[in-house]
A and B are shown apart, each in its own frame.
Chain A
């Protein structure tokens, strides 16, 4: 399959990357960032929202740095899985991503910035023409959403990254760099509930690295992924949970692949901590998390089933954490 032509830029430092981005912005030229390319390139081959410029982060030296509390955006998933520095929960989740071949190319930053997915959208140009396009890639036609017709405001494509809920459960922050400078925000604030916009990256900004709090290493976690095959498949539902053993107040649960964004479930967790002394009502908590998510019909398995499985996955994730009381 032939990609449409684009100009590929290879900055070697963060400054050069930002300067390139600023320059393109000023010239009014659209561009995409690429790291491993396992998400961007298939989309380009399918001619989905392609841009005339692509800036590669592959040669940006700082982006490859990795310590136990800081992970550069171009660290590959494979490195995350095999590095002694990586948190065991991230290694567990990383090992469940795609296939071993893809993990050698795919990156942490790319996984966090993964484009949202939908079976009306992740299709070739010919295919999308046959449905008269969709909201997310309308090719200038103003087409409606094909999942939920007649709403035409929000794209409901599903975020299917595996790392995000796990990093959320570890209370990670992300460092974003762009023409307006550098900022650090909690990962939970990174995503924006719109399958099209996806996240809060400003124009020209990119995700440089992920930072974990110092106490993350004390956390024990589990990631439960629902998929049809044990390889290749994106999650159909994913539940990550972690806590500092013995401290139920530290319990964090996050889900993915159920909506346009991954998210944490602070309210549900809090609601099931109190009242009962220091104990977690696992069963009730699992049910309340199930009730809080609203998957739509745009992935391989039906949404009603995925929703029901959230309860099972939550239960399993929590039971892997040890004695929650």
Chain B
């Protein structure tokens, strides 16, 4: 023990200029501020929570991970660990993978919207010199799909093609020119079928539905999924004081990621498949490859390359990945397939084109008595994530407001267009926009400020939504208050001159899907992280978390560095190969940081415990009184007594070799029992509020967004730099959907703008100044309190802009995007109504507060106190949606209110009055039709 005792020196003099110590003459900093090594950084108390002796404020109270904080990196702006590779051009994306002897694969695509393939003759293709392998749908008859319940895709069309651009066949040739030439040599006999483009027609019975689901097929329609959900007391909506009814048409939008899809497949000499692909969800590709190729999963290694942007568009297992594998198997050589931009649009998986009908009501107390949402979403040719999207369009609108009742009907239909899928803000974006604009309209009818209307109707922290979601931390109120203050709202709203407007919008999103797609609670947790530390002290972290540019690798490195008090440069994250990384369910539903960082913390604690145990042996002090700081472990009350990190490490691995630890995360059981209760369940939810300022050119209808104040509750910003980046990036992406981006399907059903010139992503000129405001509500289950920041921040920008346009010109628009022609048309109609000739004479909306305004302010003041108490766990009583309406949270609501209902199917007498998508409930499944079809 004495060996490690370092003699304290005198407090003055004895220091060398070069920083090296003079024996016995070392100056020691005060206890707790650092160890004895002169190069050691003192403990950064500003980043150690006040609950464990630091200076970092914790207004929401203590957190389970507070004692694991070392002040190393969490909460500090940190450059992404892979940024050097990216800025020097050394990051290897899908198309950068070059294997010796590679062939170039090309895909033959359907020229028809909907057609039966009667025959394919490949003989002329095979005869072309330079063509090494050819494959068609027959070569891969096994179906796959991202969701196990809706596997409706093939590697290449089997029997039918379902949209222009659908995969028909593929070739591998010695070079690209030969492969392109080969595509013109296929001889195919087609039988064209009657296509469907209009999703409204998708509800009708047709001769040849796009897919056939056997006994589960809904009559002979093209309905892929229908949803009905009803909660609460519907009698509350009967005589509303204010109401809003909006019919929305939202065009489909695409992710517009920079990197087109690219894949390289190679069967190694042992017959194992090595597949290189920029995937958000390598594990599902892994599963799908196994199914399609009839090869066990352990004979496949999926290598995730760097991903040049995904946003949901690279989260399905893709047919071209199958094609590359099939061609490589057939040719015995590596095959590379890289998409053109047009092919990227044809594989699509962007946001669903949607018709959304929202009716909302408020009572004379300014309480929101009902949401009635009907969403018809256009799925295109395949199911993709659509089953989930169908639910999300409704259920993700059940918070952050307390509702008297909630009614949702949704239907997703197949049409002969490229498949829609998951895109940043999955399923929540369009409905959220409709709902937030409806609130704005109701606030106007009630003559109250729309921010106060929201503040007086928020669910508190630690509550249950009307549909049964468990809300934990909730920073909604703080977000609203901060943007109100930051934007100077009270001096601008309804007071700006014509053509200038300001608007508010909120958001609510899941932070990790509580019941992920392929999750099998009996077999594996949500996320697993392995850590290995060898004698050199470097920490290797194995995770399957797919970094798609959002910074998940950095987040994992940060939390490990934080727990072990090591510089982040000593943490090496290995996450590319399925051979070496534990199973991870992928980068979707904003789950990665929440779940992987939680798993990484646990694994890092495992390593820390081994190090502390060794230090205990060496120093004789129990781990409870040992401190980790910057590569040192020392006695809390006398930092002179300590060992270096390496000394402890070497001691710890004396008998065992490299230290190994693993950690996992599993979310707690949650949710109700009704059908679809799992959709939208998450261990935590993020909240956001944005205020947008716009200029509208009243003569041309051109909208430009000039300023955005963007507050997002991410629980705890592990890396504020990355959170701000996500907020600003989300603003850009959401702004695209609200002002200029749309997938245009012309009168013939063809996608008219499958390129980046005509698909109009906002340029730097359209980008407003964004002020990111980070709200930290400290989630009890999040890693160090963190929640998601990748998707939620996109939601509020849409309604904020739409509401700001109304503030500017007095026109409510419900067709997205608000391209100049749409806005102009709205202004023209408005002028006609008002009998005005010159748009410069348009009146601006103005607000005179009504009698309800003080009531709302008073209520929100009371609720602020309620929320603070609940957030700090000073009040741990139950709170369920409905308390605002006078219900007792401790008694089941159905026992208190006669009309209270929790339903997943319409009552017979409701059938006649369902919304458009709801009419899917008029149809019967084949198994219930008894022969009539």
Q: Which residues of A contact B (CB under 8 A)?
A: 1-2, 5, 99, 119, 123-124, 126-127, 129-131, 146, 226, 228-234, 300-302, 305, 308-309, 312
Pairwise interchain contact A124-B111, C-beta atoms closer than 8 A: no
Sorted from nearest, which 5 A-B pairs have the closest CB atoms?
A230-B765, A305-B821, A231-B763, A130-B111, A130-B164
Known: A119-B752, A312-B700. Is A228-B765 also a contact (CB below 8 A)? no
A selection of 16 A-B contacts at a CB cut-off of 8 Å is A119-B746, A124-B342, A127-B754, A130-B112, A130-B164, A130-B750, A228-B819, A228-B820, A230-B766, A231-B764, A232-B757, A300-B753, A300-B760, A305-B820, A309-B700, A312-B699
Specify the chain A residue showing the minimal Cβ separation from B821.
Answer: A305
Q: Which of B340, B748, B758, B825 neighbours the largest number of chain A CB atoms within 10 Å of its CB?
A: B758
Distance in angstroms between the alpha carbons of A146 and B164 in the assembled complex? 17
Q: Is residue B109 contacting chain A, with contact meaning CB distance below 8 A?
A: yes
Given contacts A233-B760, A301-B820, 6 further A-B contacts (CB under 8 A): A99-B763, A119-B758, A127-B164, A131-B748, A305-B821, A305-B824
A-B contacts, CB under 8 A, total: 72
CB distance from A11 to the nearest CB of B (A): 27
Q: Is residue B874 contacting chain A, with contact meaning CB distance below 8 A?
A: no
Pairwise interchain contact A301-B821, C-beta atoms closer than 8 A: yes
- Summarize B's interface: helix, strand, loop or mixed: loop
Pairwise interchain contact A131-B824, C-beta atoms closer than 8 A: no
Q: Is residue B40 contacting chain A, with contact meaning CB distance below 8 A?
A: no
Q: Which residues of A contact B820 (CB under 8 A)?
A: 226, 228, 301, 305
Partner of B763, one of A123, A126, A129, A229: A229
Specify the chain B residue showing the minimal Cβ separation from A146.
Answer: B748
Specify the chain B residue showing the minimal Cβ separation from A237.
Answer: B700
Q: Which residues of A contact B753 (CB under 8 A)?
A: 119, 300
Q: Which residues of B contact A2 (CB under 8 A)?
A: 176-177, 180
Q: Which residues of A contact B764 (CB under 8 A)?
A: 231
Pairwise interchain contact B740-A229, C-beta atoms closer than 8 A: yes
| B window 160-193: CB within 8 A of A | 164-165, 176-177, 180
Pairwise interchain contact A308-B824, C-beta atoms closer than 8 A: yes
Q: Which of A1, A130, A301 neighbours the largest number of chain B CB atoms within 10 Å of its CB?
A: A130
Pairwise interchain contact A126-B824, C-beta atoms closer than 8 A: no
Q: Which residues of A contact B177 (CB under 8 A)?
A: 2, 5
Q: Which residues of A contact B180 (CB under 8 A)?
A: 2
Partner of A301, one of B110, B176, B765, B819: B819
Q: Which residues of B contact A146 (CB under 8 A)?
A: 748
CB distance from A237 to the nearest CB of B (A): 10
Distance in angstroms between the alpha carbons of A131 and B176 in the assembled complex? 25
Q: Which residues of B contact A130 (CB under 8 A)?
A: 110-112, 164-165, 750
Q: Which residues of A contact B821 (CB under 8 A)?
A: 301-302, 305
Distance in angstroms between the alpha carbons of A233 and B109 in the assembled complex? 29
CB distance from A95 to the nearest CB of B (A): 12
| B window 331-372: CB within 8 A of A | 340, 342
Q: Which residues of B contact A300 (CB under 8 A)?
A: 753, 758, 760
Q: Is residue B762 contacting chain A, with contact meaning CB distance below 8 A?
A: yes
Q: Which residues of B contact A131 (CB under 8 A)?
A: 748, 750
Pairwise interchain contact B758-A126, C-beta atoms closer than 8 A: no
- Summarize A's interface: helix, strand, loop or mixed: loop
CB distance from A230 to the nearest CB of B (A): 3
Pairwise interchain contact B766-A229, C-beta atoms closer than 8 A: yes
Q: Which residues of A contact B758 (CB under 8 A)?
A: 119, 300
Specify the chain A residue showing the minimal Cβ separation from B704.
Answer: A230
Distance in angstroms between the alpha carbons of A308 and B699 in the assembled complex? 10
Specify the chain A residue showing the minimal Cβ separation from B179.
Answer: A2
Partner of A126, one of B111, B700, B752, B762: B111
Specify the chain B residue showing the minimal Cβ separation from A309.
Answer: B700
CB distance from A52 to the nearest CB of B (A): 15
Partner of B340, one of A1, A233, A234, A301: A1
Q: Which residues of A contact B760 (CB under 8 A)?
A: 228-229, 233, 300
Q: Which residues of A contact B762 (CB under 8 A)?
A: 229
Q: Which residues of B contact A127 (CB under 8 A)?
A: 164, 342, 750, 754
CB distance from B10 to the nearest CB of A (A): 65
Distance in angstroms between the alpha carbons of A234 and B766 in the assembled complex? 16
Distance in angstroms between the alpha carbons of A194 and B824 in the assembled complex? 31
| B window 688-722: CB within 8 A of A | 699-700
CB distance from B558 to the nearest CB of A (A): 36
Distance in angstroms between the alpha carbons of A231 and B825 in the assembled complex? 24
Distance in angstroms between the alpha carbons of A232 and B758 in the assembled complex? 10
CB distance from B183 to the nearest CB of A (A): 8
Distance in angstroms between the alpha carbons of A297 and B763 in the assembled complex? 24
What per-residue 1/0 map shows which CB atoms of B110-122 lie under 8 Å from chain A? Answer: 1110000000000
CB distance from A319 to the nearest CB of B (A): 12
Q: Which residues of B contact A229 (CB under 8 A)?
A: 740, 760, 762-763, 765-766
Distance in angstroms between the alpha carbons of A202 and B758 in the assembled complex? 32
CB distance from A188 to the nearest CB of B (A): 27
Distance in angstroms between the alpha carbons of A185 and B808 in the assembled complex? 49
CB distance from B592 to the nearest CB of A (A): 32
Distance in angstroms between the alpha carbons of A234 and B825 in the assembled complex? 22
Specify the chain B residue showing the minimal Cβ separation from A230.
Answer: B765
Partner of B111, one of A99, A129, A226, A231: A129
Distance in angstroms between the alpha carbons of A146 and B165 in the assembled complex? 20
CB distance from A322 to the nearest CB of B (A): 20
Q: Which residues of A contact B757 (CB under 8 A)?
A: 232-234
What per-residue 1/0 map shows which CB atoms of B550-592 lie under 8 Å from chain A? Answer: 0000000000000000000000000000000000000000000
Q: Which residues of B contact A231 (CB under 8 A)?
A: 763-765
Distance in angstroms between the alpha carbons of A11 and B699 in the assembled complex? 49
CB distance from A27 to the nearest CB of B (A): 25
Q: Which residues of A contact B765 (CB under 8 A)?
A: 229-231
CB distance from B162 to the nearest CB of A (A): 14
Pairwise interchain contact A124-B750, C-beta atoms closer than 8 A: no
Q: Which residues of B contact A312 (CB under 8 A)?
A: 699-700
Q: Which residues of A contact B699 (CB under 8 A)?
A: 312
| B window 809-825: CB within 8 A of A | 819-821, 824-825
Distance in angstroms between the alpha carbons of A131 and B177 in the assembled complex? 24
CB distance from A121 to the nearest CB of B (A): 11
Distance in angstroms between the alpha carbons of A119 and B766 in the assembled complex? 24
Q: Which residues of A contact B746 (CB under 8 A)?
A: 119
Specify the chain A residue showing the minimal Cβ separation from B340.
Answer: A1
Specify the chain B residue showing the minimal Cβ separation from A312.
Answer: B699
Distance in angstroms between the alpha carbons of A130 and B111 in the assembled complex? 4
CB distance from A190 to the nearest CB of B (A): 26
Q: Which residues of A contact B111 (CB under 8 A)?
A: 126, 129-130
CB distance from A82 to the nearest CB of B (A): 19
Partner of A226, one of B700, B740, B763, B825: B700
Distance in angstroms between the alpha carbons of A232 and B754 in the assembled complex? 16
Q: Which residues of A contact B110 (CB under 8 A)?
A: 130
CB distance from A174 to the nearest CB of B (A): 27
CB distance from B508 to the nearest CB of A (A): 31
CB distance from B416 to the nearest CB of A (A): 12
| B window 755-793: CB within 8 A of A | 757-758, 760, 762-766
What per-residue 1/0 map shows which CB atoms of B92-110 lie under 8 Å from chain A? Answer: 0000000000000000011
CB distance from B628 to the nearest CB of A (A): 50
Q: Which residues of A contact B700 (CB under 8 A)?
A: 226, 309, 312
Pairwise interchain contact B819-A126, C-beta atoms closer than 8 A: no
Q: Which residues of B contact A232 (CB under 8 A)?
A: 757, 763
Q: Which residues of B contact A124 (CB under 8 A)?
A: 340, 342, 754
CB distance from B820 to the nearest CB of A (A): 7
CB distance from B94 to the nearest CB of A (A): 16
Q: Which residues of A contact B164 (CB under 8 A)?
A: 127, 130
Pairwise interchain contact A228-B824, C-beta atoms closer than 8 A: no
Distance in angstroms between the alpha carbons of A131 and B825 in the assembled complex? 30
Q: Which residues of A contact B740 (CB under 8 A)?
A: 228-229
CB distance from B704 to the nearest CB of A (A): 9
Q: Which residues of B contact A301 (CB under 8 A)?
A: 819-821
Specify the chain A residue showing the minimal Cβ separation from B111.
Answer: A130
Specify the chain A residue showing the minimal Cβ separation from B825.
Answer: A305
Q: Which residues of A contact B342 (CB under 8 A)?
A: 123-124, 126-127
